[in-house]
């Protein structure tokens, strides 16, 4: 077959046919992704389990960058983030692939070509927020600290952004993130929003990654919006992002105290037969260098150096924002559903 498209693009697109022709007994889904993508396989399996593999499904997510979606397609599952075809869709796609590759040989990007082929078959992408293209630059900690309410499935382009944890290089950061991932992928990056009313503190927990504490009451609708520490994929692109963001403030009342994952420990239940709770600890990685939020009788968080979060050992079956009140007892803060112990 003669094709004049970009050779590597055509080769990658043809992988779906070549893979399908291989031994595929019992296969329900075909997943494609880039070689610089980190997949969280337990969450991927849980996500795909929600869809009927006997139907025609194309599961993925578009990019965070508007310019990326404009250049390719807003209806595309980006290959960097990864996407999945159900068996029946992969079957019919493989049968029609050669004709389709000739039709779209001038398109750039195997994921764009495959999306066009799938669209011609009458199938649209099912967007799942846990697939992350990460067409961003800079510090994405603000994004991960307010992760969408969806299981984390993939992270792409980690070599294009700053290390996920301050004071670590990229390999160290990724290895550090794997510690909570190995214990419980279902909770990873899932956000809990809590309040300590006596001290007028707002707490945003991104499980297994970070804790933000504000010295004033912040509504959940605001805490669920990522702090924009990251930059656009292409400089000067406006509007830049496919998501709402909030800017970096100079007001100490709007600047959180940042804590990052330090350790993960599992504690057994009765007679040591099974784990009962998982304890994640979070510490300051850098000084805040801001005055306290004084107005309104608020209390400083400066004395807090370490946070312990005690979570149930059971997997998080339903992903949804957890809102909880924080009760003060001596130097301890207690959260419903998860328990945070603050020590200064």
Quickly list H helices, 184-292: 220-223
Question: Rounded to the nearest 5 degrees, what angle is found at the Cα of 42, between the Cα atoms of 126 and 74?
Answer: 20
pLDDT at 73: 94
Q: Is the pTM of this model over 0.75?
A: yes
Rg for the chain (alpha carbons), in Å? 22
DSSP state of 247: P
pLDDT at 290: 84
d(CA 195, CA 40): 31
d(CA 177, CA 154): 13
The two structure tokens encoding residue 239 = 């509007």
Q: Is 313 helix (H, G, I), strand (E, B) or coil?
A: coil
For the sheet with 29-32, list strands across it: 29-32, 83-86, 58-60, 125-127
Q: Is 97 helix (H, G, I), strand (E, B) or coil?
A: helix
Task: Transcribe 314-327 into DSSP letters.
Answer: S---S---EEEEEE
Q: Which residues pair with 333 in a beta bridge?
A: 328
Q: pLDDT 10s digit of each residue in the chain, 344 long?
A: 334 456 767 777 778 888 888 877 889 999 999 999 999 999 999 999 999 999 999 999 999 999 999 999 999 999 999 999 999 999 999 999 989 988 998 888 899 999 999 999 999 999 999 999 999 999 999 999 999 889 999 999 999 999 999 999 999 999 999 999 999 999 999 999 988 888 889 999 999 999 999 999 999 999 999 999 998 988 777 789 999 999 988 899 999 999 999 999 988 766 656 668 899 999 998 888 888 887 655 688 888 888 988 888 777 765 554 545 444 433 444 454 454 554 44
pLDDT at 3: 42
d(CA 80, CA 156): 6
d(CA 225, CA 204): 11
CB 305 within 8 A of CB 344: yes
Contacts of 198 (CB under 8 A, 6+ apart): 328
The two structure tokens encoding residue 67 = 């310019």
CB 153 within 8 A of CB 46: no
The hierarchical CATH code for the domain 7-127 is: 3.90.550.50
d(CA 266, CA 274): 10
Contacts of 231 (CB under 8 A, 6+ apart): 136, 137, 138
Q: What does the domain layout of the chain look like in residue ranges?
A: 7-127, 137-184+191-343
Q: Within 10 A of 22 (CB to CB), how many other CB atoms are there?
A: 7
pLDDT at 269: 67
CB 101 within 8 A of CB 13: yes
CB 90 within 8 A of CB 58: no
Strands 137-138 and 29-32: unpaired
> How far does CA 63 lie from the centroid of its chain?
12
The two structure tokens encoding residue 201 = 């503190």
Q: Which residues pair with 85 in a beta bridge?
A: 30, 58
pLDDT at 6: 64
Report how far apart the first and last C-alpha atoms of the chain are (Å, whole number).
Answer: 69
CA-nearest of 258, 278, 255 to 268 is: 278
The two structure tokens encoding residue 241 = 């992002």
């Amino acid at each position: 077959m003669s094709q004049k498209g970009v050779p590597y693009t055509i080769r990658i697109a043809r992988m779906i046919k070549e893979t399908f022709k291989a031994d595929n007994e019992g296969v329900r889904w075909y997943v494609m992704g880039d070689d610089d993508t980190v997949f969280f396989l337990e969450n991927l399996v849980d996500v795909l389990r929600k869809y009927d593999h006997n139907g025609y499904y194309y599961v993925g997510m578009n990019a965070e960058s508007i310019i990326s979606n404009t250049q390719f397609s807003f209806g595309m599952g980006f290959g960097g983030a990864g996407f999945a075809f159900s068996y029946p869709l992969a079957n019919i796609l493989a049968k029609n692939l050669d004709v389709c590759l000739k039709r779209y040989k001038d398109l750039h990007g195997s994921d764009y070509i495959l999306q066009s082929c799938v669209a011609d078959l009458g199938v649209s992408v099912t967007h799942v927020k846990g697939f992350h293209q990460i067409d961003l630059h800079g510090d994405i900690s603000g994004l991960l600290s307010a992760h969408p309410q969806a299981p984390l499935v993939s992270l792409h382009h980690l070599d294009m952004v700053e290390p996920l944890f301050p004071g670590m290089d990229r390999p160290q950061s990724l290895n550090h993130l794997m510690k909570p991932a190995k214990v419980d992928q279902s909770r990873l990056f899932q956000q809990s929003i809590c309040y300590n009313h006596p001290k007028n503190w707002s707490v945003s927990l991104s499980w297994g990654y970070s804790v933000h504490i504000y010295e004033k009451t912040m509504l959940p609708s605001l805490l669920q919006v990522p702090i924009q520490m990251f930059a656009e994929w292409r400089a000067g692109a406006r509007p830049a992002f496919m998501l709402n963001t909030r800017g970096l403030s100079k007001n100490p009342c709007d600047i959180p105290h940042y804590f990052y994952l330090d350790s993960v420990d599992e504690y057994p239940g009765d007679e040591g037969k099974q784990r009962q709770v998982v304890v994640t600890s979070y510490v300051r990685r850098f000084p805040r260098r801001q005055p306290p939020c004084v107005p309104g009788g608020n209390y400083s968080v400066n004395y807090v150096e370490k946070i312990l979060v005690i979570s149930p050992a059971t997997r998080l079956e339903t992903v949804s924002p957890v809102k909880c009140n924080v009760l003060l007892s001596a130097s301890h803060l207690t959260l419903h559903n998860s328990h945070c112990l603050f020590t200064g």
